[in-house]
Amino acid sequence: MIAVTANGESRSVPEGITLADFVEGLRVPGGRVAVELNGRLVPRDRFPTVALAAGDRLEVVTLVGGG
């Protein structure tokens, strides 16, 4: 297990977990989510290839539509 910080909260996650797996574990409805990793926005198509590392800082924001 490694420690990462997501939205200011420390979390333990399995070593080698991808960003896609991390987001899936959050159970965000409809997959409407944006993620900033260490200060940089990560394009959604890169989620499956980005592995989290110890000490990473994530900001996860859900997107809400309306009108």
Kindly give the confidence (pLDDT) of every residue in the chain, 67 residues in length, as a single tens digit, with 9 standing for 90 and above. 999 999 999 999 999 999 999 999 988 765 688 999 999 999 999 999 999 999 999 999 987 766 5
Query: Looking at residue 63, what is its pLDDT?
Result: 72
- State whether the Cα torsion 23-24-29-31 is positive or negative: positive
Task: Specify the pTM.
Answer: 0.85
How far is 17 from 20, CA to CA, in rounded Å?
8
Per DSSP, the three-state class of 26 is helix
Query: Looking at residue 66, what is its pLDDT?
Result: 63
Query: Looking at residue 65, what is its pLDDT?
Result: 67
Q: Are 11 and 41 in contact (CB under 8 A)?
A: no
Q: Are 51 and 18 in contact (CB under 8 A)?
A: yes
Q: Which domains does the chain have, with CATH numbers?
A: 2-62 (3.10.20.30)
Alpha helices (runs of H) in the chain, residue ranges in sequence order = 19-26
